[in-house]
Amino acid sequence: MASTTTEWTPQGWREYPLAQSPTWPDAEHLARIERELATKPPLVFAGEARRLQDQLALAASGRAFVLQAGDCAESFDESSADVIRDKLKVILQMAVALTYGAGVPVIKVGRIAGQFAKPRSDDVEERDGLRLDAFRGHIVNSEVFTKEARRPDPDRLLSAYHQSVSTLNLLRAFTTGGFAALSRVHAWNQEFVANSLEGKRYEVIADEIERALQFMKACGIDLHDDSALQSVEFYTSHEALILNYEEALTRRDSLTGDWYDCSAHLLWVGDRTRQLDGAHVNFLRGVSNPLGLKVGPTMGVDELRSLVSVLNPENTPGRLTLISRMGHGRVSELLPPLVEAMSEDGRSELWTCDPMHGNTFVASGGQKTRRFDDVLSETSQFFLVHQALGTWPGGLHVELTGDDVTECLGGGSRLNETDLAQNYTSICDPRLNATQSLDLAFHVAEYLQRYATPIGERSL
Ligand code: PEP
Ligand code: CO
């Protein structure tokens, strides 16, 4: 088991069993790339990660809500400014719907600028009798089904770093350079969303926000002076799966002397790599970033208790977010004992809902898909569980894109199985498109109003 008594080092994970690892064909090539990555500048700063942790602590105490969203797997072939901008737009729109509808601050965390690695259920994929290595995300290999394309290539670690740099650079420009100013709330409505029911509903809120801003201006308040209205705090996150990459970007903070994984603000442990005695848990326990832990249907109460005590030994609020992903058919049965155990133990962890990963199935045309209604059902049950236990439903974790894709069924776009082939571009799991994402945000804003009283407002 990951012992907290041995001194932690960034390379210590190498002594533990490593799940979900590609078989790199050339160890020397990999080592060379690791050394090169270790000389590169950090993507994020420790102070930013601490700021996110402080905000997550607010959510853990029922005073804020987290929206964590983005691709299942970012693609090396889809890195244009338009793609990044449209993803950001839909996340900002969802945050507006949530903030306006529910009156709680929304902490915005992208699955972006580093979300390149995928755990897989099978190590190999078979098509027409040909068996090849599974696709593990663009940081490892390509989704193209040839022997050459599927061979893990260490140069991809460097490409992932460089794409993360340019994505983050653009995100920082968008979020602080005027694009995200609240006065542009109308401009975030994408064309195809603006023509939908959800887009029209959003326009009503945008009108009201605009009127409120005009009122403030008429009262003599200088809106240009207020950074909360002019810019948005946006954080990055990804699953810490390829530890060679994470180790190379782990640096000691000069202010505190603590280790930070500077590849993203928040790193999470996937449902398939959360073994207590495994390399991933051992690596993440030693970095001081805020962490996430996926909590799937096989998680037992004792296991969760051990994991939280390893990943958050001081029970620090904001340090650890538990991301429930049970599936709509089982969440009401499986989640309550886990939430109850955490409450009983006086734990500070924040609970969020990933209504995507427990609800994937293969459609008749062969595409992986999810039903919007199942996503909604798991989300509403998550809220009901927390209402019944008096705990705070702290956030939503979703896979989405700003593009008008046809990957998930139903929702605002009313897609059916025959529509899936029209514009299915995900290289891994099916994502909500912009209309479906906004539709979900409006529902969640309603659940927040109906089922959740911010803990700060409860009468004692
Ligand atoms: C993911 O978030 O993309 C993922 C693979 O999730 P999980 O670990 O919950 O299966
Ligand atoms: Co996924």
State in Å: Cα 179 to ligand 1 middle.
31
What confidence category does residue 178 fall into, taking pLDDT thresholds of 50, 70 and 90? confident
- Kindly give the number of the ligand 1 atom that is closest to the alpha carbon of 428: 3
Provide the terminal-to-terminal Cα distance of the chain, rounded to the nearest Å: 41
pLDDT of residue 277: 97
Instruction: Report the DSSP pairing between strands 393-399 and 320-324.
Output: unpaired
Nearest ligand (C-alpha, residue 326) = 1
Does residue 460 have a pLDDT over 50? Answer: no
pLDDT of residue 103: 87
| For residues 19-35, average pLDDT | 97
Q: Give the model confidence (pLDDT) of 381-408 as tens digits.
A: 999 999 999 999 999 999 999 999 999 9
Q: Which residues contact 384 (CB under 8 A, 6 or more apart)?
A: 332, 451
- Kindly give the number of the ligand 1 atom that is closest to the alpha carbon of 354: 9
| For residues 419-436, average pLDDT | 96
State in Å: Cα 429 to ligand 2 middle.
5
State in Å: Cα 311 to ligand 1 middle.
18
| For residues 335-342, average pLDDT | 98
Q: Give the model confidence (pLDDT) of 249-266 as tens digits.
A: 999 999 999 999 999 999
- Kindly give the number of the ligand 1 atom that is closest to the alpha carbon of 294: 9
Ligand 1, atom 1, lies closest to the CA of 72
pLDDT of residue 10: 98
Ligand 1, atom 3, lies closest to the CA of 72
Does residue 2 have a pLDDT over 60? Answer: no
| Region at 70 (left for phi over 0; alpha for psi -120 to 50; beta for the rest) | left
Q: Give the model confidence (pLDDT) of 260-319 as tens digits.
A: 999 999 999 999 999 999 999 999 999 999 999 999 999 999 999 999 999 999 999 999
pLDDT of residue 456: 61
Nearest ligand (C-alpha, residue 355) = 1
Give the rounded percent of residues in the chain with a pLDDT score beyond 70: 97
Ligand 1, atom 4, lies closest to the CA of 270
The answer to whether the CB of 271 is under 6 A from ligand 1 is yes
CB 298 within 8 A of CB 327: no
Q: Give the model confidence (pLDDT) of 71-99 as tens digits.
A: 999 999 999 999 999 999 999 999 999 99
pLDDT of residue 102: 83
The answer to whether the CB of 72 is under 6 A from ligand 1 is yes
pLDDT of residue 110: 98
Mean pLDDT estimate for the chain: 94
3-state secondary structure the chain: CCCCCCCCCCCHHHHCCCCCCCCCCCHHHHHHHHHHHHCCCCCCCHHHHHHHHHHHHHHHCCCCEEEEEECCCCCCCCCCHHHHHHHHHHHHHHHHHHHHHHCCCEEEEEEECCCCCCCCCCCEEEECCEEEECCCCCCCCCCCCCHHHHCCCCHHHHHHHHHHHHHHHHHHHHHHCCCCCHHHCCCCCCHHHHCCHHHHHHHHHHHHHHHHHHHHHHCCCCHHHCHHHHCCCEEEEEECCCHHHHHHCEEECCCCCCEEECCCCEEEECCCCCCCCCHHHHHHHCCCCCEEEEECCCCCHHHHHHHHHHHCCCCCCCCEEEEECCCCCCHHHHHHHHHHHHHHCCCCCEEEECCCCCCCEECCCCCEECEHHHHHHHHHHHHHHHHHHCCCEEEEEEEECCCCCCCCEEHHHCECHHHCCCCCCCCCCCCECHHHHHHHHHHHHHHHHHHCCCHHHCCC
State in Å: Cα 220 to ligand 2 middle.
47
What confidence category does residue 192 fall into, taking pLDDT thresholds of 50, 70 and 90? confident
The answer to whether the CB of 270 is under 6 A from ligand 1 is yes
pLDDT of residue 5: 54
| For residues 449-455, average pLDDT | 77
State in Å: Cα 85 to ligand 2 middle.
21
pLDDT of residue 413: 76
pLDDT of residue 283: 98
Q: Give the model confidence (pLDDT) of 109-134 as tens digits.
A: 999 999 999 999 999 999 999 999 99
Using CA atoms, how far apart are residues 214 and 209, in angstroms rounded to an integer?
Answer: 9
Q: Give the model confidence (pLDDT) of 202-246 as tens digits.
A: 999 999 999 999 999 999 988 887 888 888 999 999 999 999 999
State in Å: Cα 169 to ligand 2 middle.
24
Does residue 16 have a pLDDT over 60? Answer: yes
State in Å: Cα 72 to ligand 2 middle.
4
What confidence category does residue 457 fall into, taking pLDDT thresholds of 50, 70 and 90? low
Mutate to test the pocket of ligand 1, among 239, 322, 323 (most ligand atoms within 8 A of CB): 239
The answer to whether the CB of 274 is under 6 A from ligand 1 is no
The answer to whether the CB of 325 is under 6 A from ligand 1 is yes
- Kindly give the number of the ligand 1 atom that is closest to the alpha carbon of 118: 5
